[in-house]
Amino acid sequence: MSISARKEREFKERENLILRTSFDMLLTEGYMGFTIDKLAKKIDYAKGTVYKHFACKEDIVMKILNEAFKQRIKVLERIKTLDIPERALVMAGTYGMSLYNKLNPNLHRLLQIGNVESIWNKVSQDLKDEHNSMVTRIFDDFELLVQRAVKNKNLELGEHESIDIYFSIICLSMGFSGMLRNTRDAQIPHNVIECLCNSRLVKDPARVLRLAMNTFLDGLNWRPLTGNYDYNALETEVTDTVFSDLKKIVEGETRIEFILDLDI
């Protein structure tokens, strides 16, 4: 019994090694540079062993994405403890995501890989299911939030349906994260959007997203409006309380080796 438990633990450890090494390769060499042969050589196991863990290359990538997604959800769900208006919850979530994205500015580049249809199609069904259920969960949470705001008379739907609103919010965040990575790490920009972020002085894209989000919510007339609530104070507050651990890491007080090791 105890021996098979050790085996199991060793197997789990090797899986972690595979994920950690793959993540590293993906970030340094890109999707095309990430090959199973190189991976096997790096972790000093035979190729066949890797395939004992994952059915295909794409499954490794999707597993990493799913683990990162789990972390994201955990960060987002921390706001559930806050007793503030619904709109402030939306903003608090945005602040949390800002911080989380700074933990690993390169993470969202991997998301683009998962969005490529021909890659997604190769992923095993169970990993797709896992991914889908997480997205569904995010959508559900947002829907409840919008409905609660309507019920509490902080928001009128007007021409909108509730799906329109939370769908727009998600699109806005996705649009931003898709278009830029944090410029803190002075790497070579990989596309023109990133060049423009530098040349046109978008110094803190996350700040622009927060502004845009507030602007959009003002446009919806979702109360409390910017003028009637100190969202900057809210940012400071949540950053120092529910997200204080993330803040410490971002500010360099804590070092992390591998984002997915992080106990969030």
Name the DSSP class of 189. P
Q: Does 118 bind DNA (CB under 7 A)?
A: no
- Size of site (CB under 7 A) for DNA: 23
**Nearer CB in complex with DNA: 35/132:** 35
For residues 259 and 105, the answer to whether their CB atoms sit within 8 Å is no
Q: At residue 120, what are phi and psi to the nearest 5 degrees? A: -50, -40
Shortest distance (Å) from residue 123 CB to DNA = 10
Shortest distance (Å) from residue 4 CB to DNA = 6
Shortest distance (Å) from residue 222 CB to its own copies = 10
Instruction: Catalog residues that contact its own copies under the rule CB under 8 A.
Output: 29-33, 109, 112-113, 115-122, 128, 131-132, 135-136, 139, 159-160, 163-164, 167-168, 170-176, 178-179, 190-193, 195-196, 200-202, 208-209, 211-212, 214-220
CA distances from residue 33 to 22, 30, 231, 254 in whole angstroms, order as listed? 10, 5, 43, 30
Cis-peptide, bond into residue 189, ω within 30° of zero: no
**Nearer CB in complex with DNA: 51/120:** 51
Shortest distance (Å) from residue 196 CB to its own copies = 6
Q: Could you give the CA distance from residue 79 to residue 47 in angstroms, rounded to a whole number? A: 43
For residues 63 and 127, the answer to whether their CB atoms sit within 8 Å is yes
**Nearer CB in complex with DNA: 5/201:** 5
Task: Name which of DNA, its own copies, none residue 256 binds, using a CB cut-off of 5 to 8 Å depending on partner kind.
Answer: none
**Nearer CB in complex with its own copies: 169/246:** 169
For residues 69 and 133, the answer to whether their CB atoms sit within 8 Å is no
Residue showing tokens 């000093």: 44
* Per-residue contact string for residues 70-109; x = within reach of DNA by CB under 7 A: ----------------------------------------
* Per-residue contact string for residues 34-73; x = within reach of DNA by CB under 7 A: xxxxx------xxxxx-xx--xxxx---------------
Q: Could you give the CA distance from residue 120 to residue 27 in angstroms, rounded to a whole number? A: 19
Enumerate residues 6+ apart whose C-beta is below 8 A from 113: 26, 31, 61, 65, 119
